[in-house]
Each structure stands twice: as C-alpha cells, then as structure tokens.
Amino acid sequence: MSAKPAQTLDELYARIQATRATTPAGPERQFRHAVRGEEARQGRRGNGGPDLDAPEPVVMRGCAREVLDLGALLFGDRYTTDLARVTGELPRQVYRWQRGEGTGPSETAVRWIREEALARMAAIQAGLDRLAAVRPPALPPAAPEPEPEVTLAPGVAPEDARWFLDGLSRALTPGRPTFVREVLSARRPPRARHWTAEVRVFDGAVHTLDCDRGADLEGTTVGLAWIPGPGLTSRQPCLLWDDAAGWVRGADFVRGPRPPAPAAPEPEPALAAPARPADPQVDLEEWLATTGLIGE
C-alpha cells in the first residue's frame, strides 16, 4: 500500500531526505556534455573505443612513398606535375599514388626518377665545384683545446685553488686552455692585499700566481708575479701560446734600475781667427816725390 501523499512542502522535503538516506550510493550519472568533453580531450569515445569518424590512414603501395618524397626534394612542394612529367605518367596517376590506390609506381617510373635525381646531383656538385674555385669555402673553426687536468697538492683547499684558476681563466683568451698543471699552495688571507698561489706550469717550472686586490681589497685579476732578482732587478716569466705547439716559454721580461744617462760630450775648442797682417807704413812725402807730383 502506497504512502499517503504529502500535504505540505515541509512534508515533501522530509520524504526526499529520508529516501536519499536509505538509497545505497550508486555510480554518478554521466551527462552527455561530459562525454563530449572527454572525447575532445582523449580523442576517443566515452567507452574508451577509437573515434569511428576519424579518417583511415593511407597505406601507399609499392615504393610510392619513396618516389613522392624524392619528387618533393627535386621539385618542391608542388611537385605533382613535374613528377608526372619525369616518370612519364599523368598527374592523376600521381594523385592515385598519394591516395594509396593502384599498385604504385612502375619499374620504368622508378628508373626514370632515379636517373633524373642522379643527373641533378651531378649538376649541383659541378656547380659547387665551380663556386669553390672562384670563392673557396671558409675553413671550419678549429675545435677548442681540451682543458688539461689540474691536480692539487695535499693540503690545498679546493675552493681556494678554484678561485685562482677561475681568475686566471678570465685573464686568458676564451677557449684557450690553462698553462697550470698543479697547484702547490693557495693563500687567501681575509684582510691581505695580495693573495698568492704557488703553481707548477706546463714545463715543470714553479711560479707564483698573484692577485693585487688594491687598497679597497676588491681586485680579482690574477697573473704571474714578478720574481725578485739581485739588487733592484726583477723578472717576470713570459709564457706564449703557439697554435701548433701549445704553451711555450719565451724570454722573460726583465725590470731593473734605470741605466745612467750618457755623459754630455765635451764641446770642441773654438778655432782662433787668423791674425790680420799689419798695414804697411808709407811715407807720404816720399811717395809723392817718387811719383813726380812734387819736386825735391
């Protein structure tokens, strides 16, 4: 016997709540718009099957795929007419190859497209040879030299050694390997102006890497330190890079006392003027009498 119909809205609402409480939980209802969204995201129907409306993949026969790709390489994207001309076929036959119809290109079509491709390859190579004779191609850049492995002596802090090696690499030409082979010691006092590291270079000699931090203790440039010599003379190692031999040692730069200025040459003595001969003394009366101008 069915229950008496509800007389008021409150009674109807109470019956609905009681029915929901006694009904076991079932699968959530899937609405049609949710199925369409799932199909758009996953590319399949709501039941997991493939999309029956999708076009079937084209299966080309014989070597149609290879012939079509070769035609695209020879004649570009719009290759249908040119490919048909070279293979001796009609353009509609090329369209049939694209749709996977028929048995694919014949042996004659394959031989003709192969001969056309070889002829064009020879022509292109001949053109490249003529161009290279007029303007040779630029040589490819040389591969950078491999960075040599730098070893650390026992007791050297890796972070201190890496600081000096990084500073030295910034001072070198980019891509050029370092000339350091071993770090013997590295000293970085916090408040010191000079930070130094003893290193062994490519030829086994030991040198000092120096960083003059300046008065403000902000400098980071690392270079080879001057080696004190006797007196005021000092020298700095000269390491040169050779493209064939790598790092080589050159003549050291020598810094010494300024040579004394050469003495000024003594002035040459001035030549004495020649003595002027004395004027001869002439007796005027005797000269007049000799000339007969006056009588005796």
Question: Could you read off the pLDDT of 130-140 as tens digits, one per residue?
Answer: 999 999 988 88
3-state secondary structure of 255: strand
Question: pLDDT for 175-222, tens place per residue?
Answer: 888 899 999 999 888 888 888 899 999 888 899 888 888 888 887 888
Residue 57: pLDDT band (50, 70, 90) is: confident
Q: At 151, phi and psi to the nearest 5?
A: -95, 155
| pLDDT of 120 | 95
Burial status of residue 222 (CB atoms within 10 A of its CB: 0-12, 13-18, 19 or more): buried
Provide the strand spans (E) within the chain: 151-152, 180-187, 194-201, 206-212, 223-224, 227-228, 234-236, 239-242, 246-249, 253-255
3-state secondary structure 54-105: CCCCCCCCCCHHHHHHHHHHHHCCCCHHHHHHHHCCCHHHHHHHHHCCCCCC
Tell how far CA 282 is from the center of its chain. Answer: 106
pLDDT at 88 over 70: yes
